[in-house]
Amino acid sequence: MYALATFATALSLSAGFITAAWATPVAADWQRCRQVSEASARLACYDKLADMAVAQPAAPVAAAMPAVPLPVQTPAERFGMEQKVAQEGAVDTITSMLPGDFEGWDAKTKFTLANGQVWQVTDGSRVYWPAKNPKVTIRRGVLGAFYLQIEGLNTTAKVKRLQ
């Protein structure tokens, strides 16, 4: 008799799910099935939810969330961020500009280039050289090193890309 009452409870829960116009099951629906104590009735409840989930396409959820395109990066945008990327399409140098006033660098100075990339000095070099909107070239060195050079300046700084 107890098993029959439990099964009837599970059946009424399942009927409640069905009357929801075959809506996609939500977490509360799965929790209701979890509370059914009799194993076969609980399994029947889960089976009904699984059937509903398979029968109902996910279009309403997808329509509610706008599609966000994944950013496509060019080799120049990935420059300095790659981790052992195949050499096909690799870029050896990039050129950009440091917007605004530039006064030089010392150890750990961070540079935000006009293209949005952020680089940091990793060697102990120091340079004082005032300039406005200087052109910057960053070139790939050996063993994964990168070197920053400011136009008109004869020295370079070893740098790493942060962003």
Count of other CB atoms within 10 angstroms of residue 65: 7
Domains in the chain: boundaries: 2-64, 75-161
How far apart CA 149 and CA 158 sit, in angstroms, is: 9
How far apart CA 101 and CA 106 sit, in angstroms, is: 16
Tokens standing for residue 119: 């680089």
The pTM of this model reads: 0.47
Burial (CB < 10 A; 0-12, 13-18, 19+), residue 138, is buried
Which pLDDT value is given to residue 67?
Answer: 52
Number of continuous H segments (helices) and E segments (strands) in the chain = 5, 8
Q: For every one of its 163 residues, what pLDDT tens digit does the chain have, with 9 covering 90 and above?
A: 554 444 455 455 544 544 444 456 677 777 788 788 888 888 888 788 777 766 555 444 444 445 555 555 677 777 776 654 445 567 789 999 999 998 999 989 999 999 999 999 999 899 998 999 999 999 998 888 999 999 989 999 999 999 8
